[in-house]
Chains A and B, each alone.
Chain A
């Protein structure tokens, strides 16, 4: 016991409790990160306030809840009587997004399962790079593909007068959303620890059984998150939808009907309105509506992803 202290007081050694350089750096970084996090919230609230302010006049003035949500008549520039019904626009966005998800979910989940569970080595690297490349194609290019390629193909194949419709936009939007969904879904599958697979394989489970019984349930939340992200993408997409839907106000009864989306309406009309007019404010009210919907979708995705961490 050669290094013993000589008395009770000498036993107090608080030299480790110095606020040294490392400690100050740590505090500084914490503050910076905090400001970064707060700023994101400030910006979002700022955007929301801006949109609300612009749409406010309409909300307290000409806004008629029943007409706005349940009338299919969007006639903001009518000479006799302006009507601001967005039902047809909601139907347009919903039908295109719905069809897009019908196409994108099987494709992206299939691709994700193949990349994460079956492909190996070069195939896998090649596929991952390709998928990421697809995700980087600008939406106007997709819109152009819809206009220039899909349009004549649909007219010829199905013998319909117009090829710019729900089918066209749904396919385009599905193809657009699939790569990013694949990427997220693949991450979710990869996050399933290998020991789960080994434990199942050790019991004689076939490869498909391992995927179906163990990997997919374990990755469930991440996969759902991927789908919701795709839905959010579908709701928010503007340019491709503007170009491929035909942009005509319609409640679709078949996939060959042209429709018009909420986002495309804002994009196409905002530049031509007088700032402060009812039309201008109604477009911002659509913006509020989109904001709320996207917020709900993102919140749902977030709650689900939070479920991943707990499970």
Chain B
């Protein structure tokens, strides 16, 4: 799946469509620039890892993708991001954009609705009213998020009453519920135990055939396990983008990347 782009990892290979194109991206909060001069393409059906220490701009990048900069008047986004080759900052209907992009935030947010309603929320927003269809979606998404077995007997209890790890899986199920074309996970495993993390990782590998995934992670090894290509963000810039294996086998262009993945700093 990743072979052809080995020559120039930052460029789009001809046979793989660009899902998300990032050009000269600059993100600032007020006068402080937190991400500058970032350019890369994310291809359809790949898992794209983003690693880097705290405050490297990883989360801000995700916010810029689905136009959550709208919520923060301080945040300005320069350069361009394209989704399906459409510039996201030119989009008139941002809700339509967000319905194609699923996001999972680091801290789980179980909405104060029943477990069922949490997962059925997005399909219902999209106009799905058929109970049988919703049942299927809810079961499929909860199964994929490795939560179905634990909650199938109490789908009507409150989602906000689940434990932290369960809420995180509920959040993932919710993000999957509108069949996103792009799934962005921001340190999803932060509140999840290792066994469950592994189960979700297996699901992500399966999802790759249907969805493009951006995986922001603190765990370097998680990026290695999952990501086809990985970008390394450091101090407000993207140090390098490459095949994940290359980053770990020493085929790196930048010494800082080597130091980071080998755990010498960060």
Please report A residues at the B interface, Cβ cutoff 8 Å: 1, 3-5, 8, 10-14, 16-20, 22-23, 26
Contacts and interface: CB of A to CB of B under 8 A. Distances in A.
B99 A16 contact: yes
Given A13-B84, A13-B86, A4 B44 contact: yes
Contacts of B107: none
Contact of A11 (B18, B91, B95, B97): B18
A23 B84 contact: no
Interface string B16-31: 1110000000000000
Contact of B93 (A1, A5, A20): A20
A5 B95 contact: no
B131 interface: no
Contacts of B92: 17, 19, 23
A26 B93 CA distance: 10
A60 B18 CA distance: 73
- What 9 pairs across the A-B complex have the smallest Cβ distances? A13-B84, A16-B96, A12-B85, A5-B17, A14-B86, A11-B17, A11-B85, A23-B93, A16-B100
Contacts of A13: 84-86
Given A17-B97, A20-B96, A4 B15 contact: yes
Contacts of B84: 11-14, 16
A8 B44 CA distance: 13
B1 interface: yes
B96 A4 contact: no
A22 B18 CA distance: 28
Given A13-B85, A13-B86, A17-B91, A1 B96 contact: no
Contacts of A3: 44-45
11 contacts: A1-B1, A1-B15, A1-B45, A3-B44, A11-B18, A12-B86, A16-B99, A17-B92, A17-B93, A18-B93, A18-B96
Given A3-B45, A16-B100, A22 B15 contact: no
B74 to A, nearest CB: 13
Contacts of A18: 93, 96
Nearest to B45: A1
Given A1-B1, A12-B84, A22 B44 contact: no
Given A1-B1, A4-B44, A26-B95, A17 B86 contact: yes
Contacts of B125: 22
Nearest to B90: A17
A16 B17 contact: no
Q: Which of B44, B93, B95 has the most CB of A within 10 A?
A: B93
Contacts of A14: 84, 86
A105 B70 CA distance: 42
B18 A17 contact: no
A3 B16 CA distance: 10
Nearest to A6: B17
A22 B85 contact: no
A10 B1 CA distance: 20
A53 B16 CA distance: 73
Given A16-B97, A16-B100, A4 B17 contact: yes
Interface string B80-104: 0000111000011101110110000
Contacts of A26: 95
Contacts of B44: 1, 3-5
Contacts of A23: 92-93, 95-96
B46 to A, nearest CB: 10
A199 B95 CA distance: 39
B16 A1 contact: yes
Contacts of A19: 92-93
